[in-house]
Amino acid sequence: MEEELEPEEQERFSYQQRLKAAVHYTVGRLCQEVAEDKEVQFSKQTIAAISEMTFRQCENFARDLEMFARHAKRSTINTEDVKLLARRSNSLLKYITEKNEELAQLNQERKAKKK
Amino acid sequence: LFSCRNGMRQKNSNKDYFLSEEEFKLWNRLYRLRNSDKIKEITLPQVHFPSLQEEENGPIQNPATGIHQLSLTEWRVWQDRPFPTHQVDHSERCHHFVSVMQMIERMRHEEGECKYELEMKSYLQMEDVSSTFSSLGNGYSNP
């Protein structure tokens, strides 16, 4: 299948695979942490499936974020757009909102130090 | 909820938010689930996040007899192909779901070695991933 691709497509394919590989590696490490914490094991196939789902979920997120920003007449995606991604679950929204506040505070402290 | 309807005015019924007396009778006779029915209630699963502390909903309990909780997983072997549509097309999100179900189906009978992992290994560049992970040693770096 790979042989039939045009050079440009081939490059695109390799780049996508590189991104997928990075996601797969990271998912593997995160699953390892959960496995140790919960004393369960993940099969390699399960980790592969979570990786593929994560990669595809990024496409969903990216498209939604772009539309949310555009809906607010912005071209730069900001944290309000990200919070909208979490709107379906109260606990998730709370978690994301707290993380956002943490980061904002951290940024402010960093700025203060620079001055 | 509907039992207070009887006192409602009959005129304007088509503009009313609530059912008219006639509509209520029809609903009561044809559609309403009763305690004597085999299934007396239909529920949807609640959103649940095991990895975040769930204080809002409390523990989820199994539905009692006579209550049918709709399942999104019991027909999963059917879900490796797009289902027919009427007027609403499948979304990208839905196509992604179908693709992952196909991938899981392909991997179902794999034992031990994982083809996906083998392929990914050849594309991984360590600069793309967090160094807090890479220092620990892992399946990728020690063959």
Contacts of A52 in chain B (CB under 8 A): 99-100, 103, 116
Each residue of B20-43: pLDDT tens digit? 999 999 999 999 999 999 999 999
Mean pLDDT by 10 residues, chain A (115 residues): 76 95 97 95 96 97 98 97 95 95 94 83
Q: Which residues contact A1 (CB under 8 A, 6 or more apart)?
A: none
In chain B, which residues have their Cβ closer than 8 Å to the Cβ of A24?
116-117, 120, 124
Nearest to A25 by CA among B50, B131, B63: B131
Of B99, B107, B136, the CB nearest to A45: B107
| pLDDT, greater one: B128 or A5 | B128
Q: How far apart are CA B108 and CA B102, in angstroms?
A: 10
CB burial of A49-81 (b: ≥16 within 10 Å; e: otherwise) equals bbbbbebbeeeeeeebbeebbeeeeeeebeeeb
A99/B7 Cα distance (integer angstroms): 52
Residues paired with residue A13 on neighbouring β-strands, in sequence order = none
* pLDDT tier at B112, thresholds 50, 70, 90: confident
Residue type, A80: E
Q: Residue B138 — pLDDT band, cuts 50, 70, 90?
A: very low
| pLDDT computed for residue B137 by the predictor | 46
Cβ contact, residue pair A17, B119, below 8 Å: yes
